[in-house]
């Protein structure tokens, strides 16, 4: 096929889509064109564009016929050498740290297509539309299979990113597991999201950077630092940044998101996100002058995260714990509601049904002699009382009232 040299260069999103349709990775494109992988990534991010003869070759490579270079789906593996690839905006592989192998996602039908659709950022409703156009009478994926595909695609990268945010291995794994448990609990919403990988990433980041973790006993003491001195210095420089600056730096220079996407995920304006990136880079460069270049910082972040060899739990385990946690919360809500109803019934049964005026408080009255209280009689008084009682019925001295 002959390509017209004057043919326009596709848009950044179209470049990525064309590359994925040909089953080519960014490394494959870089090898064929004789450029670095970071250059190809910047072309697809829209940060730069090829010129001259390189522009013609890049356009010819993207618009050529389908390639059978890589028929299998690539899934991030844990035993890795540093490579910065992962789940970026729209599900694009931008920020995983690990070597990629060509392996099958699973033995069930539709699992390979799931990985390709995740890479394109297609929600579940568009998957069903594709199946309908292809003449499939039933959906190619069950909810559990779609969740497992999303987990296999994103979890290894997110664990490494969470470690860069927190500096804690257990907290990084816990953050990713909690994020995917939330995604499974709200799967009808996540499945139709335009960027399910971004939804899970934002949830994991929010949990990892929560200030309440410092009150937990297991997180009051620091973990063991990385083995290498350079890794320890870089991690210390990251942890000294404010959480919002650290998150912005990891998203922009680590994950490779564009500035508008980074601003949207951090809930900031684009100028504010740009200032945070600049200040974070300046703070890191002050402590580590050799990382003044963004490209050097990008690869050092990859090496730092990959050196820990963090592993994520299996998707089936995450789904099981998510369902169990939802059941526990449901039972707790039912028990609390029953307790509230019982207390209300008891209160209604024991509460008074009429008004009783309260007793007035006592008051002290001044100016009056105290009233004498009767006390025991003395011997003389007892004798006098006996004498008086003995003379009551005798003698003329007794006065008897007369009626008239």
Contact 31, 37 (CB under 8 A): no
Number of neighbours of residue 353 by Cβ within 10 angstroms:
5
CA distance 16 to 10: 9
CA distance 290 to 135: 56
Can you give the length of the chain in residues?
404
CA distance 220 to 163: 17
Contact 278, 284 (CB under 8 A): no
What the block records as the tokens of 251 is: 């998203």
CA distance 153 to 146: 11
- Domains of the chain plus CATH, in order, are 1-71 (1.10.260), 74-212+226-345 (no CATH)
What is the average per-residue pLDDT within 250-260?
Answer: 89
pLDDT band for position 116 (cuts 50, 70, 90): low
CA distance 95 to 262: 13
CA distance 105 to 93: 16
Whole-number pLDDT of residue 65: 53
Give the residue, 77 or 132, on which the prediction is more confident.
132
Strand runs (DSSP E) across 30-150, as ranges? 74-76, 84-87, 93-97, 100-102
> Which residues make beta-bridge pairs with 84?
97
Give the residue, 184 or 82, on which the prediction is more confident.
184
Whole-number pLDDT of residue 275: 93
Contact 272, 263 (CB under 8 A): yes
What is the average per-residue pLDDT within 52-76?
Answer: 62
Whole-number pLDDT of residue 372: 66
pLDDT band for position 339 (cuts 50, 70, 90): very high
Q: Measure CA 34 to chain center.
A: 40
């Amino acid at each position: 096929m002959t390509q017209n040299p004057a043919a326009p260069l596709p848009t950044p999103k179209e470049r990525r889509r064309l590359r994925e349709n040909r089953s080519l990775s960014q490394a494959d494109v870089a090898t064929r064109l004789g450029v670095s992988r970071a250059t190809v990534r910047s072309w697809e991010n829209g940060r730069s564009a090829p010129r001259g003869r390189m522009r013609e070759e890049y356009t010819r490579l993207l618009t050529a016929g389908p390639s059978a270079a890589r028929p299998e789906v690539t899934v991030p593996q844990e035993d890795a050498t540093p490579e910065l690839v992962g789940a970026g905006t729209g599900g694009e592989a931008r920020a995983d740290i690990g070597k990629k192998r060509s392996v099958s996602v699973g033995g069930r039908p539709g699992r390979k297509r799931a990985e390709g659709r995740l890479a394109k950022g297609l929600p579940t409703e568009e998957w069903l539309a594709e199946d309908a156009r292809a003449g499939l009478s039933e959906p190619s994926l069950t909810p559990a299979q779609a969740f497992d595909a999303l987990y296999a695609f994103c979890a290894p990268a997110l664990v490494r990113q969470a470690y860069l945010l927190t500096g804690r291995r257990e907290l990084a794994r816990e953050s990713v597991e909690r994020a995917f448990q939330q995604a499974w609990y709200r799967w009808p919403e996540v499945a139709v999201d335009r960027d399910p990988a971004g939804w899970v990433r934002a949830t994991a980041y929010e949990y990892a950077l929560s200030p309440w973790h410092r009150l937990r006993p297991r997180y009051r003491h620091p973990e063991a630092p990385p083995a290498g001195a350079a890794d320890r210095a870089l991690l210390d420089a990251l942890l000294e940044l404010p959480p919002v600056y650290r998150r912005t730096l990891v998203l922009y220079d680590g994950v490779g998101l564009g500035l508008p996407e980074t601003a949207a995920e951090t809930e900031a304006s684009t100028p504010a996100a740009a200032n945070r990136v600049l200040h974070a880079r300046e703070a890191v460069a002050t402590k580590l002058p050799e990382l003044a270049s963004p490209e050097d910082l990008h690869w050092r972040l990859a090496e730092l995260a990959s050196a820990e060899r963090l592993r994520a739990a299996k998707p089936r385990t995450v789904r099981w714990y998510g369902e169990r946690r939802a059941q526990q919360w449901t039972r707790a809500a039912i028990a609390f509601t029953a307790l509230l109803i019982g207390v209300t019934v008891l209160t209604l049964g024991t509460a008074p049904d009429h008004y009783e005026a309260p007793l007035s408080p006592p008051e002290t009255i001044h100016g009056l002699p105290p009233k004498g209280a009767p006390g025991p009689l003395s011997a003389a008084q007892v004798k006098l009382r006996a004498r008086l009682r003995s003379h009551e019925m005798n003698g003329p001295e007794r006065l008897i009232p007369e009626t008239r």
